[in-house]
A and B are shown apart, each in its own frame.
Chain A
Amino acid sequence: MMSMKKQNALIMTVLAGGVCIAASVAGSAGLLPLWAAAVLVIVFFPVFLVSLGLWWNASEKEGDTPFIGY
């Protein structure tokens, strides 16, 4: 279950990062209108950042029982 979460976060990170880079390159090269490239980057940049954090944050093993106080 945990490794599944980590794998999903990695897939999201790679996809969102790929879209950001592709949109930036396509926008600069004139293959995509600048506004369309901007919209893609604005939408996928937050997804990339949060997925990246969730990816390196996700554990691959089950954690201990959380401390719930004395």
Chain B
Amino acid sequence: MIEYLIFAVFAGLLLHGIHRKAIARIQGRPGPPVWQEILHVLKFSFKETWIPWTASRTLFVAVVFIAIGIWSAALVVLLTGESLLLLFGIYMLHKIVEHGLGLSSGSPYGKFGAIRSVMSAASEIPLFATIAAVYLVTHSLMISDILAWQTANGPLLIAVPPAAAALYIVVLAKMHYSPFAVIESKEIVSGNMTEHFGVWRAGLDVAFGLKTFVLLYAFILLFIGPIPLLAAAVAMLILLLSLSFICATTPMLSPFDTVTIQIGAAGLIVVYILIMGAIL
């Protein structure tokens, strides 16, 4: 199990590096090497580390452990084919991490990031719509059952494309440099992560690398189905590059527009689910 976690950490950080490289190339810049995010983690872990005087010490440190822990748990849920609701619950816990990061620091920039995180709770609504649509079609929320359904009936991407679009928006919302990434917008320095430096930032980068790997892999498993590892890696890469393209060409939205678009998208999918429910 630990071997899968270590693999996912490095793969997730590599995906972050590819994301940055792709964005840079689309914007006509050379960009950093693809392994830059792995080097970042090493760099941060060698930096001097302490806890700011104004921080809430317990929360400031605990939130790093929680971030790594929940995304490790999410990977285990995916690999063991457990319930999609567990994945949804972990995604909710990530919200607490986002709040905790900013609020524990005592920095006004961190607190702005945390408040924006509360506002951007709208990004969870499309995830709820995804789960409802998947349940309506497959009659199960167990990932193993969903995979078995796809083996028998073909990819859910074809059966319920709006549900896939909803999860795509969820994944996009959590990517670095996303148009929805208002919690780490540059006008508030690094947002809710501003005061976490040194080993704390290295730990957070590991957690967010895991998160990216889990979300991309979850998308592939839920909407394309059980495919060989190499094919899954290629599919994850294509998915990531499509996200990178959006991130590179779309400016960061204002918090108001972020919420409006996410709720709007979720609303359309809810209408689709209601119609689908009436037909089925």
Q: A residues near B, CB below 8 A?
A: 20-21, 23-24, 27-28, 34, 37-38, 41-43, 45-47, 49-50, 52-54, 56-57, 63
Q: B residues near A, CB below 8 A?
A: 1-3, 5, 44-49, 64-69, 72-73, 76, 80, 198-199, 202-203, 206
By a CB distance below 8 angstroms, the chain A residues around B3 are 24
Q: Is the CB of B72 within 8 A of A42?
A: yes
Q: Is the CB of B49 within 8 A of A45?
A: no
Instruction: State how many angstroms separate the Cβ of A36 from the closest Cβ of chain B.
Output: 11
Instruction: State how many angstroms separate the Cβ of A14 from the closest Cβ of chain B.
Output: 14
Interface of A is mostly: helix
Instruction: State how many angstroms separate the Cβ of B263 from the closest Cβ of chain A.
Output: 33
Q: List 12 A-B contacts (CB under 8 A).
A: A23-B2, A41-B1, A45-B5, A46-B67, A46-B72, A49-B68, A50-B64, A50-B65, A50-B199, A53-B45, A56-B46, A57-B198
Residue of B nearest to A58 (CB): B49
By a CB distance below 8 angstroms, the chain B residues around A21 are 2
Cα-based distance from A45 to B44 in the complex (angstroms): 18
Most chain A beta carbons < 10 A, residue from B2, B3, B47, B48: B2
Q: Is the CB of B48 within 8 A of A57?
A: yes
Q: Is the CB of B80 within 8 A of A34?
A: yes
Cα-based distance from A25 to B45 in the complex (angstroms): 28
Q: Is the CB of B46 within 8 A of A46?
A: no
By a CB distance below 8 angstroms, the chain A residues around B46 are 56-57
Q: Is the CB of B1 within 8 A of A43?
A: no
